[in-house]
Amino acid sequence: MTDTDQQTAWDRDGFFITRELLTAEEVELLGQIARADIRLRADASVRDDGEGRAVSLRVRNELEDDIYSTISRSRRIVSVMEQLLGGEVYHYHHKLIFKDRQTAGAWAWHQDYGYWYDYACLYPLLASCLIAVDPATRDNGCLQVLAGSHRMGRIEHGIKGDQTGADPERVAAIEQQLETVHVTLDPGDAIFFHCNLLHRSDANTTPDPRWALICCYNAARNNPYRQVRHPQYTPLKTVADDQVLADGRAHLSRLAPS
């Protein structure tokens, strides 16, 4: 997909899919590290979905010496975010989503700006890149999006379980007008999506896990007007794409038992 095609899809639909954003070797290494990273799961938060299940995730505001941070700083993602958001961006946070086999809960329909709004960002100049670590299928609860819903602006949100969800009455009306797209991905594929795009996912009741890494960015000119839980603007030092393998191998070696 060319830059022009990406921008057209972004303006029209609020998202686009990039196949093989990470190479097979890179995503295999990412999966090895994530599953061997005891600290990763120990630090995870658990969010009740209000339907008797829960989703585990680990959010990090800081960029560290690990593969997750290197991917978040990689030129292949940052350059696209700069194009989409119209200028310099910075790392807002990144997170691992653990949709474990047979147990993981659903995410309600929501917009990320539905609650990032409350973190003192005045404009919806934020975006995310979700990278599949495992195959994402309709059966194991892949991401669903309402194409073009970002053009409706921010919708009121409320609490559902431990999650923040969009007004269900309005969402039901939107579902009658817009196409629901099931974002099926192979490992290493990614979806770039706007912070006002309505999205959700079903519970994972299959024997197959569905883990994903999500890298989130804010426009530098959209710096929060007060201190909040996610970071203020800090210049983002990008790295060459080939650094992912180098840093990943170093990260894996540190996890190996001595």
pLDDT at 83 over 70: yes
- Higher-pLDDT residue of 67 and 56 is 67
In sequence order, what are the beta bridge partners of 136? 185
Q: Domain ranges in the chain?
A: 3-227+234-255
Q: Which of the residue ranges 98-107, 199-208, 242-251 would you say has the lowest mean pLDDT?
A: 98-107
Helix axes 243-255, 24-36, angle to 10 degrees: 30
pTM of the full predicted structure?
Answer: 0.94
The angle formed by the CA atoms of residues 169, 172 and 176, to the nearest 5 degrees, is: 145
- What is the pLDDT at residue 180? 98
Q: How confident is the model at residue 102 (pLDDT cuts 50, 70, 90)?
A: very low
The three-state secondary structure class of 202 is coil
- What is the pLDDT at residue 241? 97
- What is the pLDDT at residue 140? 92
Which is the CATH superfamily of the domain at 3-227+234-255?
q2cbj1_9rhob like domain (2.60.120.620)
On whether the CB atoms of residues 81 and 217 are closer than 8 A, the answer is yes
- What is the pLDDT at residue 7? 96
Structural tokens at position 147: 């194409």
Tell me the C-alpha distance between 32 and 151, whole Å.
38
- Amino acid identity of residue 183, one-letter, is V
Q: Which of the residue ranges 113-127, 136-150, 156-170, 197-211 would you say has the lowest mean pLDDT?
A: 156-170
Q: Quick one: which of 231, 209, 201 has its CA closest to 218?
A: 231
Q: Which residues contact 45 (CB under 8 A, 6 or more apart)?
A: 56, 57, 58, 59
Residue ranges in 165-226 assigned as alpha helix (H)? 168-177
Task: For residue range 159-217, list pLDDT tens digits in order.
Answer: 766 667 899 999 999 999 999 999 999 999 999 999 999 999 998 889 999 999 999 99
pLDDT at 50 over 80: no
The three-state secondary structure class of 195 is coil
- What is the pLDDT at residue 56? 79
Q: What is the mean pLDDT of residues 224-229?
A: 94
